[in-house]
């Protein structure tokens, strides 16, 4: 962790020809293409065009197509977890927290410049999970993390009296995750951001009782 996140400036230059690109931005650009056209629908030439790197440089930097995709997928989870952690950790009541979480998710789902791309995982990785155990386990682990985040928050809410004592935090967490999944799916299927915000609002209302 924390090896090249910020440019140090006073770092000793490596020996050979300097890179003509920034690995982080290049990977982000590659992820953008995958996000739009999916894993199988994206060629190395597409990635090459999006990053400005030629194929041999791509390979040297990130490995083959599958490795690039896995790196992009992990990056996406990191981005999403960071956004959710912030949304979960900003205080406020249960309903407020839920709507903040869903707004954070929608911000990502609608972050594509012109097009709406939804969730990278739901929109592209789910297709690959059948037939790709590595991607499947990365996806499953991410879902598990989010389920756990929701469950912890509902336990807290029950302890704080925001939910009735009989409430089942695990059941509510599954519904909360389900709501996020339906947002992800519907965003890519063309539902507007405003409608999805209303949808999230209604769902949160029911979940909070």
Partner DNA sequence: AAGTTTTTATGCGATCTGGTACAAAAAAAG
Partner DNA sequence: CTTTTTTTGTACCAGATCGCATAAAAACTT
Among the candidate windows 9-17, 23-31, 154-162, 181-189, which touches a copy of itself by CB under 8 A? 181-189
Smaller CB separation from a copy of itself, 99 or 177 = 177
* Structure-token pair, residue 104: 């954070």
Burial of 113 (0-12, 13-18, 19+ CB in 10 A): exposed
3-state helix, strand, coil in the chain (%, to 5): 70, 0, 30
Residue 120: count other Cβ atoms within 10 Å of its Cβ.
22
Of DNA, a copy of itself, none, which one does residue 46 interact with (CB within 5 to 8 Å by kind)?
A: DNA
Q: Which residue from 28, 36, 38, 59 is in contact with DNA, where contact means CB under 7 A?
A: 59
Torsions phi, psi for 60 (to 5 deg): -65, -35
Q: Which residue from 71, 81, 185, 197 is in contact with a copy of itself, where contact means CB under 8 A?
A: 185
Q: Is 190 in the site for a copy of itself (CB under 8 A)?
A: yes
Q: Which residue from 54, 111, 137, 192 is in contact with DNA, where contact means CB under 7 A?
A: 54
Among the candidate windows 17-25, 66-74, 119-127, 157-165, which touches a copy of itself by CB under 8 A? 119-127
Rounded Cα gap, residues 58 and 48, in angstroms: 7
Rounded Cα gap, residues 30 and 48, in angstroms: 8
User: Residue 101 is inside which H or E element, if any?
Assistant: helix 94-109
The interface mask with DNA, positions 8-37, x = CB under 7 A, is ----xxxxxxxxxx----------------
Q: Is 131 in the site for DNA (CB under 7 A)?
A: no
Q: Is 124 in the site for a copy of itself (CB under 8 A)?
A: yes
Burial of 166 (0-12, 13-18, 19+ CB in 10 A): exposed
Which positions touch a copy of itself (CB under 8 A)? 36-41, 115-118, 122-124, 126-131, 136-137, 139-140, 143, 168, 170-172, 174-175, 177-179, 181-182, 185-186, 188-191, 199, 202-203, 205-207
């Amino acid at each position: 962790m924390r090896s090249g996140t910020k440019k140090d400036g006073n770092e000793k230059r490596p020996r050979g020809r300097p890179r003509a690109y920034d690995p982080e931005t290049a990977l982000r650009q590659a992820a953008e293409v995958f996000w739009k056209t999916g894993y199988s629908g994206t060629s190395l030439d597409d990635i090459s065009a999006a990053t400005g790197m030629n194929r041999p440089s791509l390979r040297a930097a990130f490995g083959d197509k599958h490795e690039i995709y896995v790196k992009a997928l992990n990056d996406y989870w990191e981005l999403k977890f960071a956004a959710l952690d912030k949304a979960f950790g900003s205080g406020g009541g249960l309903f407020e927290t839920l709507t903040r979480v869903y707004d954070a998710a929608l911000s990502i789902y609608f972050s594509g410049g012109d097009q709406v791309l939804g969730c990278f995982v739901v929109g592209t990785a789910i297709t690959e999970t059948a037939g790709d155990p590595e991607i499947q386990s990365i996806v499953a682990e991410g879902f598990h993390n989010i389920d756990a985040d929701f469950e912890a928050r509902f336990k807290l809410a029950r302890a704080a009296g925001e939910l009735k004592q009989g409430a089942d935090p695990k059941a509510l967490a599954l519904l909360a995750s389900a709501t996020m999944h339906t947002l992800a799916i519907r965003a890519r299927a063309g539902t507007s951001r405003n409608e999805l915000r209303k949808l999230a609002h209604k769902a949160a209302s029911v979940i909070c009782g």
